[in-house]
Structure 1
Amino acid sequence: MSEISLDEWLSGRDFTFWSNGYHKIDPAQFFDLWAEGKAVLLDVRTPEEQRFLALPFAMAIPLHELPQRWQEIPRDVLVATFCSGGDRSNVAFTYLRSKGFDNVRIFKGTYAELTAELMPGKLRKYLEKRQSA
């Protein structure tokens, strides 16, 4: 998909689009894809937030840097946008969709849901799967 204006993109997003939930991804679904090398977590939190809680498996591009750095984001895997509360990940999702990213979703959850998937047993499963991918 090529770049389109935000007006054009929003005009095509009716009740069907927003009600089917396809624009979001559950943490477990994300980590299954990540383990297969088919997804990347785009962390759009600020550098200050990233210093307090680093996510070494994520691609860190603060939301305010996204207009200058969006070309760094891979297009050949699913991109899940993440922030601590959800607002910035929604903005990043919309921005990337307007830039022609078809395979982008909003990470459905905050720190609690993210860290639940990083408990030792689950993390071991994901890491073993990633090593064999």
Structure 2
Amino acid sequence: MKVLDDAVAEMDFDFLSSGKHTMSVEGMRKVLGNGQENVVFLDVRTDKEMNYLVLPFAKHIPLHELPARMNELPKDKMVVAYCSSVFRSAVAYTLLRAHGFDQVKGMAASMEDIIKAFKPGPLGKM
């Protein structure tokens, strides 16, 4: 529990206001446009949600399975968690930090915002 306490304790005002713990949709587009060798996008939505929309570049681990499946994620790459809003990605962020992942971010965007980046016009500009 101390590790989780430490992960939460680092989230003070200065940390949260810096934005260093988040990635924007534009940041996601840049990573994908440059190749994502050093970044893993982690989709923490449920299996049921995946029936409606799959982003093929992401690793899917539902949030409720994440504690048991962390060994599937590399600790030597940036892990960027996302979900349909931002709540579950924030929980995933906290869990990953508590389990020793140093390079973690959460998407600062909803699925609607992410989807807009992958329509033909914006996608073509990548």
2:24 is matched with 26
Q: CA deviation at 1:47?
A: 0.2
Tell me, yes or no, if structure 1 residue 48 matches structure 2 residue 48: yes
Percent identity over the alignment?
Answer: 40
Q: Secondary structure at the match of 1:5?
A: helix
> Per-residue CA shift, 1:60-111, capped at 9, x if unaligned?
0000110111111123332111111211111000000111111111111112
Compute the RMSD of aligned alpha carbons: 1.6
Equivalent residue runs for 1:84-95 within 5 Å: 84-95=84-95
> 1:116 is matched with which residue?
116
The structural deviation recorded for 1:33 is 1.4
- Paired with 1:83 and 1:104, the residues of 2 have a C-alpha distance of 15
- Secondary structure of 2:51's counterpart equals helix
Q: Give the AA of the match of 2:25.
A: P
Q: SS in structure 2 opposite 1:105?
A: strand
Letter in 2 for 1:14: D
Counterpart of 2:11, as a letter, is R
Partner of residue 129, structure 1 = none
1:99-110 correspondence to structure 2 within 5 Å:
99-110=99-110
**Gapped runs of 5+ residues in structure 2?**
none
| Counterpart for residue 14 of structure 2 | 16
TM-score of the pair, normalised by structure 1:
0.83
